[in-house]
Amino acid sequence: MHHRPRRRARRIALVRIPASNLAEGELTHLDRQQIDQAKADEQWDNYCAALVAEGWETVEVDAAPDLADSVFVEDAVVMFGDLAVLASPGAASRRPEVDAVERAVRAVPGVSVARIQEPGTLDGGDVLKVGSTVYVGASSRTNAEGIRQLRELLTPNGFIVVAVPVTRALHLKSTVTALPDGTVIGHPDLVDEPGLFPRFLAVPEREGVAVVELGDQTLLMSAAAPRTAAMLAGFGYRVVTVDISEFEKLEGCVTCLSVRVR
Ligand code: CIR
């Protein structure tokens, strides 16, 4: 009798190559700084390589050379199991990003698609999943109608949608993300209401709030947060760091540059 070796399901992450006018990306809370495009491209290559090294297959959304913020693909779609919820970007310059992201998720077998409709706005960076709880930032990008539509879509699927005020940074996930065990980590200067999270841990660096779970015990983090990386390594996690300085100058973080589809 022949046994097929059991293979782990393919893990797929969407990414999108930086636009040629990346330096013109939106800024809300930071002053504009010089962007080194060649360095940004190299950092993006290294970011993708880090995903691949951890067993992820990267799928590129069609390039949008003139959509400055298109590299921040996380803002255009949020996955809830096999359901892809396409966002409705709160910045007018970012609305044209979504159609190509829709084509990319539709090409993944088994994925079903819903879309937040105007006048609802919602940026993917405002959505943090922790088990069956979905925290959604009420931010300058995500409005009440966007939150209402998300709640309407997700409540029948067993999720609880919890709205969170976000006034001190661009997106909810610029202020908090979650460890694999569900502990929410954030920087005290950025989080409006830490008491909303059942388990909240303050981290010492602003760039340290963003972690991407690459495996049960592996976290991807920004190289700009060494003290936070050391703290999380001390909890037994394997921490992989990437330098994303050029994207951080544009209010991006390690989460924004990919979407784990499955
Ligand atoms: C923007 O303002 O939309 C971009 N410059 C940065 C988006 C970062 N995305 C994110 O935090 N999810």
Catalytic choice (48, 187, 253, 256): 256
| Shortest-distance Cα residue to atom 3 of ligand 1 | 26
Distance (angstroms) between ligand 1 centre and the Cα of 125 equals 7
How much is the average pLDDT of 41-64? 98
How much is the average pLDDT of 122-136? 98
Query: In order of start, what are the domains of the chain with their CATH numbers?
Result: 11-23+31-260 (3.75.10.10)
Catalytic choice (48, 171, 187, 253): 171
Confirm or reject: Cβ of 246 under 6 Å from ligand 1: no
How many of the other CB atoms lie within 10 Å of CB of 54?
16
How much is the average pLDDT of 30-41? 98
Confirm or reject: Cβ of 249 under 6 Å from ligand 1: no
Query: Strands (DSSP E) along 131-205, which ranges?
Result: 133-138, 160-165, 176-178, 184-186, 200-202
Q: Smallest Cα–Cα separation from 75: which of 44, 97, 104, 46?
A: 97
pLDDT-based confidence at 2, cuts 50/70/90? Answer: low
pLDDT confidence of residue 9? 63
Indicate if 48 belongs to the active site: no
What atom of ligand 1 comes closest to residue 256's alpha carbon? Answer: 12
Confirm or reject: Cβ of 253 under 6 Å from ligand 1: yes
Cα four-point dihedral sign 121, 89, 122, 152: positive
pLDDT confidence of residue 3? 54
Distance (angstroms) between ligand 1 centre and the Cα of 173 equals 10
Cα four-point dihedral sign 139, 61, 30, 28: negative
Q: Measured between alpha carbons, how far is residue 100 from residues 50, 76, 128, 246 in Å?
A: 24, 10, 23, 24
Indicate if 187 belongs to the active site: no
Radius of gyration of the chain (CA): 17
pTM of the full structure: 0.96
Confirm or reject: Cβ of 173 under 6 Å from ligand 1: yes
How much is the average pLDDT of 166-185? 98
Confirm or reject: Cβ of 250 under 6 Å from ligand 1: yes
pLDDT-based confidence at 216, cuts 50/70/90? Answer: confident
Residue 105: in which H helix or E strand, if any? helix 98-106
pLDDT confidence of residue 140? 98
Paired with 30 in beta bridges are: none
pLDDT confidence of residue 84? 98
Is the pLDDT confidence value at 22 over 90? yes
